[in-house]
Structure 1
Amino acid sequence: MRLPDMPLHDPFVVADEQTRTYYLYTSNEPSVSGVEGVGTMVYRSRDLREWTRPVVVFRAGEQEGIWAADGGWAPEVHERAGRYYLFTTLHDENSPLPVPPPGRWGTPFALPNHLRGTVTAVSDSLLGPFTVVDPARPTPPAHLMTLDGTLYVDPAGQPWMVYAHEWLQTVDGTMEAIRLAPDLTATIGDPVFLFRGSDAFWLTEQIPAGVPHQLAPYVTDGPQLYRTPDGALLMLWSTYEKNTAGADGTVSGGYVQTYAVSRSGALTGPWEQRRPLVRDDSGHGMLFRAFDGRLMMILHRPFENARGKLYEVGFEGDELRVLRQCTDLDGDG
C-alpha cells in the first residue's frame, strides 16, 4: 500500500530501531483492516513508501467494563521500561457533562458537552493487543472534556500527559498537562494550564469582519512535544483559521498545522506562538526521526477523507522550518 491509498487520520509514527520498521498508528477503519469496531490499527513499512495492510491492535469494545466505546481518535504509542503504552481518545455522548452557563466567557451560547478523554492502554508489543489500564475512566480528570493526550517526559524524568481541553467546554480551548505515575497508570495532582487557543496571535487576523473577537471559538488539537537542538521545548498543535461555530457545535474554517515554543525549555512555558507551518486543511502532525537521520513531520490532509502527508523539516535555532514535502512518498504533487 502507498500513502495515497491509506485512510489516515491523526497519524502517529514509531520508528523502531530494533527492527528498522516504521509503525504508523491511526484510528481503525474497518473497510481497510477488515475488523469491525472502534479502535486502533497500525500500518508497517521499512522505507516510508510501501506499507503493509493494517492490523488492529486495540478494540474498545473488547475492554471489559470500558466507560466508552466511541471515538478511537488520535492513537499514539510510547515505549517505557520495556512496555508499550497506547493513548487514544474515547467519548460517550450518553454521559453528559455540566454545561457552562452562557456568558461565562462573554459568549451568547453554551454547547452540549459529554464525557470525552484519553485512555491509557498497555502491551508488551508494538502490535498489541493493548489493554486499558483503568476501564472506569479516562486518564485526565473526567469532569473535563478533553482529547488528544500525548506523553511528555521532563528532564527530571517525570512523565506528563499533555492534552487539549475542548473548546466545546471552554469556548477558548486550552492546552493543559497533568503528571503521571512512573508506570503511566495514574495521574498525580491537578492539571496545569499551558496556553489558550486565542494566544495564537495570527488567529485574530483571520476572524471574519464583524465578528467580535470574544465570540469566536478557538480550537486546540493534537499536541506533540519535541526538544529542539538548542534546548527549547516545541509543541506542535492544530487549530482552525477564520473560526465560526454552528449551533450543533461544529467549527468551520481551514484546519492548520502550527506550533509553539517554550524558550525556557520548561513544560510550563511561557509559550510563544509561531505562525502555521502548513495550511490547506492540514494538521494533527507529529515529528519523528527517519532511519537515515532526517527529521520528518507527518500530518493528515484534508480533514475529511484524510491521507498522510510527509515533510522533511529542520531547525534554525528554535524555529521549525518545512524543507520540502516528500511527494515521492505521499504522492501529493
Structure 2
Amino acid sequence: MPVLTKDQIQMRDPFVLPHETDGTYYLYGSTDADIWKAKGIGFDAYHSKDLVNWEGPFPAFRPTPTFWADLNYWAPEVHPYRGRYYMFATFKADGVCRGTQILVSDNPLGPFVPHSEEPVTPRDWECLDGTLFIDDEGVPWIIFCHEWVQIKNGTVCALRLSPELDRAIGEPVVLFSAHDAAWVDPVHSNKHGTGYVTDGPFAYRCDNGELLLLWSSFRQGRYAQATARSTSGSILGPWVHDPKPLFDSDGGHGMIFRTFAGDLLLALHTPNSTPDERPIFIPLQESDGRLSV
C-alpha cells in the first residue's frame, strides 16, 4: 500500500478520527476525482501514526448495484458510538434530493454499509454535510445544512436521531441562516442564481464549556471557515456569529481534533478548486472559549 503525504492526497471535506486504541489517525473525505458531475465511486480512507505519512487509499465505502444514489458522494465523517463506527455522508441521485445517510462498520476502515434505510435528513429538502452531536443528556442529533440552491439563504439545522442512529425523530430546527453572519457574501450561479451558502457544520465544546459550531461560507469570493457560539450552551442556541472568519484564504469545511499529544488542530481543505484541493492541519489556540489560528 502506498505511503503518501497530504500534498499527494486530493481530498475535500477532510475528517480525522484519532483512534486511541491503536494509536492511529484515520483520515476520511470526499475522495472521488470529480465530485461534481461524475458518477460516485465511493469514499477512500487513509491511516497514519504521525499525521505526516499516510497509508492508503483503502476503500472505506463502495456502493452496491442497488444503492439508491450515484451522484455527489460528499463529506464522510466517522464517529465512534456504542462500540461501532458510524459514517455520516451526503449522497444524491437524479430527481432525488441530496441528503445525509448513516452507514456503519465494525472497523474504522470499513467496509461501511447503509445503517439508515434512507437519508435521515428531510427527503423533500436539498441537504448536505450532516454531522453527529451528542448533547449533555446523551441524546444524538444530526446537524446539517439546508442548501442554498433550494432556499437561497442556506441554513444550519439540527434534528434529533433515534438512540440507534437509524432514523430521525421529530422535526428539524433551524439554528441560523448564512445571512445572519455579517461576514458572509453572496455567491452567484448561472443555474441557481444568487444566494448565501452554509457548508460543513461541526460542533466543538471548549474547555470552559462553551459550545461552538464551525461552518463555512464565502467571503469576497473565497471559501472561508468561521465559528458561531451558542449563548445557552445548548445545540438549540440561540447562536451568535464571530465577526470574522477563522480562516479565509480559500479553504474550509473544517473540523477540530486533538492529537495524541494534546495539541488542537483544525482540519480543512484548500484551495477550494478541483482537482487542486488538499487536506491541511492548522494549529489552534483556545482561550476562554475563543479559537485562533
TM-score, structure 1 as length reference:
0.80
* C-alpha distance in 1 between matches for 2:24 and 2:214: 24
SS at match of 2:120: coil
Structure with greater Cα Rg: 1
Match of 1:176 in 2: 157
SS at match of 1:4: helix
Match of 1:99 in 2: none
Amino acid at match of 2:140: P
* C-alpha distance in 1 between matches for 2:235 and 2:171: 15
Output one character per residue of 1:34-73: Cα deviation in whole Å (capped at 9) or x when no partner: xx9521111111001111121011012x1x6422121110
Match of 2:190 in 1: none
Structure 1 residue 216, shift from structure 2 partner? 4.8
SS at match of 2:241: strand
Match of 2:238 in 1: 270
2:212 aligned with 1:234: yes
2:270 aligned with 1:301: yes
**Aligned residues: CA RMSD:** 1.8
Higher strand share: 2
* C-alpha distance in 1 between matches for 2:6 and 2:116: 34
Amino acid at match of 1:59: R
Structure 1 residue 279, shift from structure 2 partner? 1.1
List alignment gaps of at least 5 residues for structure 1: 96-113, 209-214, 243-252, 323-333
* C-alpha distance in 2 between matches for 1:8 and 1:284: 11
User: Of 59, 62, 69, which aligns to 1:59?
Assistant: 62
Amino acid at match of 2:26: Y
Structure 1 residue 30, shift from structure 2 partner? 6.6
Higher helix share: 1
CA contact (8 A) 1:298 1:308 kept: yes
SS at match of 1:264: coil
List alignment gaps of at least 5 residues for structure 2: 188-192
TM-score, structure 2 as length reference:
0.91
Please list, as runs of the form range in 1=range in 2, the aligned pairs for 1:182-261 lying within 5 A after superposition: 182-203=163-184, 216-242=194-220, 253-261=221-229
* C-alpha distance in 2 between matches for 1:207 and 1:179: 30
Match of 1:327 in 2: none
Structure 1 residue 27, shift from structure 2 partner? 2.4
SS at match of 1:226: strand
Amino acid at match of 2:264: L
Moved runs in structure 1, 4+ residues, more than 4 A?
A: none
Match of 2:259 in 1: 290
2:142 aligned with 1:139: no
Match of 1:163 in 2: 144
Amino acid at match of 1:157: G
CA contact (8 A) 1:37 1:59 kept: no
Identical-residue share of aligned pairs (%): 42
